[in-house]
Amino acid sequence: MAPPVKPEGDGVGWVRLCPGPSIDLDRNVQHAPSMKQLTVYILASKPRGTLYVGVTSDLVRRVWQHKEHIVPSFTKRYDVILLVYFELHASAEAAIRREKRLKRWLRRWKIGLIESANPTWRDLFDDIAS
């Protein structure tokens, strides 16, 4: 079974900003990345390693916290610190819905999503932090 290509529901309110084509664009979403926006993200320990799906309103700060192991958590325990995928969302409801949906996805679907946008599993943190 192939992973869903678009979010369930109306599919409105999110945009993928990783390298590669966007899946869906909402007129209300800013197309220039603003990291003070609701973001669903995926971290990895290494290419095809342990994965973590999260949601935040400040992607730069939150990924930095993961990288610095500020909070005792799953990501600290398994050294999951590479930002390999993220999506911006227009509302908290849309972002939380998408995060929960991705957490239910099979691992191979998540890997396919990451590799469709970031085939080399490059850490995208420097791109968003600069």
* Cα distance between residue 47 and residue 120, in whole Å: 8
Record the pTM.
0.76
- Beta-sheet strand order (sheet of 51-56): 14-16, 82-89, 39-44, 51-56
Domain boundaries, the chain: 14-123
Per-residue pLDDT of the chain (130 residues; tens, 9 = 90+): 455 444 444 443 444 444 433 333 333 333 334 546 899 999 999 999 999 999 999 999 999 999 999 989 999 999 999 999 999 999 999 999 999 999 999 999 999 999 999 999 999 999 999 8
Q: Say which CATH architecture domain 14-123 belongs to.
A: 3-Layer(aba) Sandwich (3.40)
